[in-house]
């Protein structure tokens, strides 16, 4: 770069776009006057810097800024809320109570809406969509039906800005008094308040902040005098640049629409992601499944591979959406092995009650592949009249789908539609940027790393080597390293030598001379068959003698356990809903001569997040993108983030800036296919 650019970093809370522009411009003009006078820069440098490029990053727990799917801080706030909701749920069940929880969101109901999706709430009140005039009757009927089906608790989520259609506030106390008066239920109110703003940031927020920060710097480096002020936003899994004033204008239009009681318009202006959340919530919370199932389709749901947090949420969503559509839904225990043995039963609405917040797999998982049992599987497909199959699992689910496709040549019974929902902590399923369960595992690793680093604060001069799961996939090691501030992360996809290990040791030796006298190194479990965790520990111990001491931790299967994070619950719920909608349409499309016959490549798909959208991709088309020997995709998006990890660890490396993002427009983003 021939000339240097000077950056001004400003944190401006609770200001609109216009005020941000005014604030930064006035401040910068003051600097351009003062610096030449003080001799810090020359008059010529001041003249060259007379224009100002502005790039914004939105930090808000309310997620109330239009143009981005998620603002920095929202996921952490959801973590705080869900932790409290889960704790309250156990109390509500034991005492058979109704709880009304008030969450933040004066002008935006995102926190309330996603919380409701993530905990299976009976009702949610948000300012963008006031309830109908007779909502009191609907609410009481809903609570009564839930109790009739055997539930021992009711959860109602209220955004602090909730209103009715006349603009009158609906408070948590109003709802409590209504439930007590009409139904006589023991009801409690919990106002979460500013606890939602506190606590340790989630892994998602740490990584989001780092990614957005890098993109903001790139935008400034590429800026010219004609470049308008922009804001770096998240669209699906992609960082995009949008004009700041367009986003501010749309955000103002939301407020205006709500003030004018044009609530449908306000919902649309919030964006497709917000609308998707609302539509899925309405289906699961307010639509009654039909009583009669005569002549309807039969869909089976199963888990395959290893347990992953969020699998149960995906099963719950799949089962209930299937029932709402009028299908007969079966659940298969113990994966393909259970399908071969006939371990199948019908699931009703209450069968999956309370599953959304439970980790692991209630249906049971096995790594067994179908190839050796195709005859028995075909027989049971006929016996139970299975017309579609939803497979929730990891790499075994994907390879099992390929074997089912191959088996169609031999068994016509296998010619039924099936869809794979990626669910594995390793995040190694081709065709999807994210897998259900990976976010929970990532947060578990980050929490552990935080505690380990804290333990070293008093000891000083200590380096921790931590082994993560993932098979040959380095996703967990890389992303946890980025989120936890690791000094190095060793993975299979990026081969390393003894010289690299030595360079890392020397880097840590220099680090011990600074005020930060601790180190953190992550190693993926199969990063190298010779440079094992024990080898790296012994190397660091030997080379660090007299300078630092080393400790090692193998996290093991604790990474697969625990309650799913809000991201995994929400992701799994929407994946299950989308998969079942696709399945119902594909069954109707494949109905021929009185039976289901699906033998086209697009009748067996993986449902995955690819950049900005959820897409269905035929498993046969993904074969060329797969390294079957190491059970990983040949190309992985997160590898481009590894240089950021090294830069933040203060290594002298170059960042690839060959890819340039272009300034988009918010109207174009909103019109695209709905992201998660």
Active site residues per annotation:
62
Closest CA to 299 of 273, 264, 276, 327: 327
Q: Specify burial of residue 279 (Cβ count, 10 A radius: 0-12, 13-18, 19+).
A: middle
Q: How many residues does the chain have?
A: 676
Whether 619 and 402 have beta carbons less than 8 Å apart is answered as yes
Closest CA to 273 of 609, 661, 616, 17: 609
User: How many CB atoms within 10 Å of residue 582?
Assistant: 18
Whether 289 and 380 have beta carbons less than 8 Å apart is answered as no
- Structure-block tokens of residue 558: 């604790």
- Structure-block tokens of residue 158: 């209220």
Q: Look up residue 423 and give its DSSP letter.
A: B
Those residues whose C-beta lies under 8 Å from the C-beta of residue 529, and which sit 6 or more positions away, are none
Whether 340 and 380 have beta carbons less than 8 Å apart is answered as yes
Backbone angles phi, psi at 389, to 5 degrees: -135, 125
Round to whole Å and give the CA distance between 120 and 356. 7
Buried residues in 504-523 as b, exposed as e (16+ CB within 10 A): bbebbeebbeeeebbbbbbb
Greatest Cα-to-Cα distance within the chain, rounded to the nearest angstrom: 88
Sign of CA dihedral 398, 399, 402, 403: negative
Q: What is the 3-state secondary structure (H, E, C) of 484-533?
A: HCCCEEECCCCCCCHHHHHHHHHHHHHHCCCCCCEEEEEEECCCCCCCCH
**Read out DSSP for 51-75?**
S---EEE-B-TT---TT-S--BTHH
**Read out DSSP for 348-381?**
-GGGGTT-TT--S-TT------SGGGHHHHHHHH
Residue 540: left if φ>0, alpha if ψ -120 to 50, beta else—which one?
alpha
CA–centroid distance for 55 within its chain: 25
Round to whole Å and give the CA distance between 428 and 425. 8
Round to whole Å and give the CA distance between 299 and 583. 8
Pairing of strands 388-393, 298-304: parallel
Cα angle vertex 565, ends 559, 567, to 5°? 120
Whether 465 and 551 have beta carbons less than 8 Å apart is answered as yes
Round to whole Å and give the CA distance between 433 and 566. 18
C-alpha distances in Å from residue 651, one per residue of 99, 106, 294, 455, 642: 51, 44, 66, 25, 12
Beta bridge partners of 235: 238
Q: List Cβ<8 Å contacts ≥24 apart for 253-256.
A: 254/66, 254/107, 254/128, 255/107
């Amino acid at each position: 770069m021939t000339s240097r650019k000077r950056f001004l970093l400003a944190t401006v809370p609770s200001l609109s776009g216009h005020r941000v522009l005014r604030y930064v411009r006035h401040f910068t003009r003051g600097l351009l006057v003062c610096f030449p006078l003080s001799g810090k820069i020359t008059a010529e440098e001041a003249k060259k810097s007379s224009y100002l490029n502005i790039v914004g990053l939105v930090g808000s727990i309310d997620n109330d800024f239009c143009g981005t799917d998620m603002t920095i801080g929202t996921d952490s706030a959801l973590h705080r809320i869900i932790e409290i909701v889960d704790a309250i749920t156990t109390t509500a069940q034991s005492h058979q109570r109704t709880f009304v929880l008030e969450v933040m969101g004066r002008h935006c109901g995102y926190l309330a809406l996603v919380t409701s999706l993530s905990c299976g709430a009976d009702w949610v009140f948000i300012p963008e969509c006031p309830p109908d005039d007779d909502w009191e009757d609907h609410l009481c009927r809903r609570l009564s039906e839930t109790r009739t089906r055997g539930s021992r608790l009711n959860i109602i989520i209220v955004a602090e800005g909730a209103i009715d259609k006349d603009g009158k506030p609906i408070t948590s106390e109003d709802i409590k008094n209504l439930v007590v008066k009409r139904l006589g239920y023991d009801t409690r109110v919990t106002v979460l308040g500013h606890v939602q703003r506190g606590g340790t940031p989630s892994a998602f927020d740490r990584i989001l902040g780092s990614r957005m920060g890098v993109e903001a710097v790139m935008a400034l480096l590429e800026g010219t005098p004609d470049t308008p002020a922009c804001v770096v936003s998240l669209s699906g899994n992609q960082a995009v640049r949008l004009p700041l004033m367009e986003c501010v204008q749309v955000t103002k239009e939301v407020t205006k629409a709500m003030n004018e009681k044009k609530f449908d318009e306000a919902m649309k202006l919030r964006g497709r992601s917000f609308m998707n959340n609302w539509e899925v919530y309405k289906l699961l919370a307010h639509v009654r499944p039909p009583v009669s199932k005569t002549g309807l389709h039969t869909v089976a749901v199963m888990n395959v591979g290893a347990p992953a947090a969020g699998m149960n949420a995906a099963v719950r969503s799949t089962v209930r959406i299937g029932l709402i559509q009028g299908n007969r839904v079966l659940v298969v225990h113990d994966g393909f092995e259970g399908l071969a043995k006939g371990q199948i039963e019908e699931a009703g609405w209450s069968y999956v009650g309370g599953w959304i917040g439970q980790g692991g797999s209630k249906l049971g998982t096995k790594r067994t592949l179908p190839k050796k049992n195709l005859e028995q599987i075909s027989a049971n497909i006929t016996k139970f009249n299975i017309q579609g199959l939803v497979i929730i699992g990891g790499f075994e689910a994907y390879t099992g789908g390929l074997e089912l496709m191959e088996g169609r040549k031999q068994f016509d019974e296998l010619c039924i539609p099936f869809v794979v929902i990626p669910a594995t902590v390793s995040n190694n399923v081709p065709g999807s940027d994210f897998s259900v369960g990976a976010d929970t595992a990532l947060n578990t690793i980050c929490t552990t790393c935080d505690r380990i680093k804290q333990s070293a604060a008093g000891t000083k001069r200590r380096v921790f080597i931590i082994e993560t799961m993932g098979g040959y996939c380095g996703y967990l090691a890389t992303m946890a390293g980025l989120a936890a501030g690791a000094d190095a992360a060793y993975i299979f996809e990026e081969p390393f030598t003894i010289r690299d290990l030595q360079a890392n040791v020397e880097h840590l030796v220099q680090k011990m001379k600074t005020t930060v006298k601790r180190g953190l190194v992550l190693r993926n479990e199969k990063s190298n068959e010779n440079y094992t965790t024990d080898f790296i520990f012994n190397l660091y111990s030997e080379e660090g003698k007299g300078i630092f001491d080393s400790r090692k931790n193998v996290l093991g299967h604790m990474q697969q356990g625990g309650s799913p994070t809000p991201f995994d619950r929400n992701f799994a719920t929407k994946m299950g809903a989308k998969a079942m909608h696709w399945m119902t349409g594909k069954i109707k499309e494949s109905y021929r001569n009185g039976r289901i016959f699906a033998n086209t490549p697009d009748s067996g798909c993986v449902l995955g997040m690819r950049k900005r959208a959820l897409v269905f991709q035929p498993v046969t088309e993904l074969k060329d993108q797969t390294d079957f020997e190491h059970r990983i995709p040949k190309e992985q998006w997160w590898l481009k983030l590894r240089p950021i990890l090294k830069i933040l660890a203060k290594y002298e490396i170059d960042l690839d800036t060959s890819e340039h993002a272009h300034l988009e427009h918010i109207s174009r983003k909103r019109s695209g296919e709905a992201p998660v």
